[in-house]
Structure 1
Amino acid sequence: MSVNDELTSIQRCLDDLFRSMGRLEQQIGKGGLELRRLRSDANHLRESLALLREAAPGLAQPRRPDLVTIPDTPYDNSLWTDSDDEGLGAHDRHAP
Structure 2
Amino acid sequence: MATKPTVKPQNILTLIKWVAAEQKFKIEAHSDTEFEIRKNRVNSVRFKVYKNTEYIQIHQWEDSGAKYGKAVYSIREYSDAIQFCNILIASETLRARRKDPA
Specify the TM-score bucket, using the shorter chain as the normaliser.
0.3 to 0.5
> Could you tell me the TM-score, scaled by structure 1's length?
0.34
Pick the structure with greater CA Rg.
1
Structure with bigger RCO (C-alpha 8 Å, 6+ apart): 1
